[in-house]
């Protein structure tokens, strides 16, 4: 067992074809952005974490696509409040300057006002038929900051106010859209 990085939690891990491990970790500080770290020795030692997302964009999920790209999906708890994704073509060393969205209009795609929200924990899979599914949760009823405080008996943290959402997508269409957007780089 080894420590990937201090003051980090909720780690997504992926084994890469070259034997490296890539981890994306949530910061436990108040901004709670996501950071990546790598291991070339089976997880015994890790690189220093590098920030990948902005504050309140967490937690991470990682999958490898059939063309070798890594799809990194996370919850964006900032306006416009949605599930977003990034793609890496170099094993997670860098992320393309292209933002994917994997959610319906939770509060409106162009919402700019800050509001209390609870969403995220996306999980993606691609089946043998190249159909992808990304699942996540959100609470459409949270209205004020006071509502977002987790405390005993708070009905907003009961199961009746949360929605589980599944978004289906085609892997070949996602790869083609990324290729088109970046000019095949």
Number of domain units in the chain: 1
Could you list the residue range(s) of the whole structural domain that residue 156 is in?
8-182
- Tokens 């997508």 belong to 169
**Tens-digit pLDDT string for the chain (185 aa):** 789 999 999 999 999 999 999 999 999 877 789 999 999 999 999 999 999 999 999 999 999 999 999 999 999 988 888 899 999 999 999 999 999 999 866 666 566 777 777 888 999 999 999 999 999 998 876 655 454 455 556 655 555 678 889 999 999 999 999 999 998 55
Instruction: Specify the CATH number for the domain of residue 104.
Output: 2.120.10.10
Whole-model pTM: value is 0.87
Establish if 2 belongs to a structural domain.
Answer: no
The set of long-range contacts for 148-156, using a CB threshold of 8 Å and a minimum separation of 24, is 148/116, 148/117, 148/118, 156/118
Establish if 3 belongs to a structural domain.
Answer: no
Beta carbons of 38 and 14 less than 8 angstroms apart: no
Beta carbons of 35 and 50 less than 8 angstroms apart: yes
Tokens of 74: 């996370």
Establish if 1 belongs to a structural domain.
Answer: no
């Amino acid at each position: 067992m080894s420590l990937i990085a201090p003051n980090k939690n909720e780690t997504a891990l992926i084994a890469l074809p070259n034997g490296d491990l890539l981890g994306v970790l949530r910061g436990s500080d108040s901004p709670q952005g996501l950071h990546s770290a790598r291991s070339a020795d089976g997880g015994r030692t890790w690189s220093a974490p590098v920030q990948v997302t902005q504050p309140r964009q967490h937690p991470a999920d990682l999958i490898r696509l059939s063309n070798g790209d890594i799809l990194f999906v996370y919850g964006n708890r900032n306006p416009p409040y949605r599930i977003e994704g990034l793609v890496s073509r170099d094993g997670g060393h860098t992320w393309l300057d292209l933002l994917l969205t994997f959610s319906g209009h939770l509060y409106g795609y162009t919402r700019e006002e800050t509001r209390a929200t609870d969403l995220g924990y996306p999980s993606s899979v691609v089946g043998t038929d190249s159909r992808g599914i990304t699942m996540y949760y959100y609470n459409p009823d949270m209205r004020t900051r006071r509502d977002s405080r987790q405390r005993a008996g708070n009905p907003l943290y009961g199961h009746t106010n949360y929605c589980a959402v599944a978004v289906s997508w085609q892997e070949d269409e996602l790869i083609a859209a990324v290729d088109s957007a970046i000019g095949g780089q």
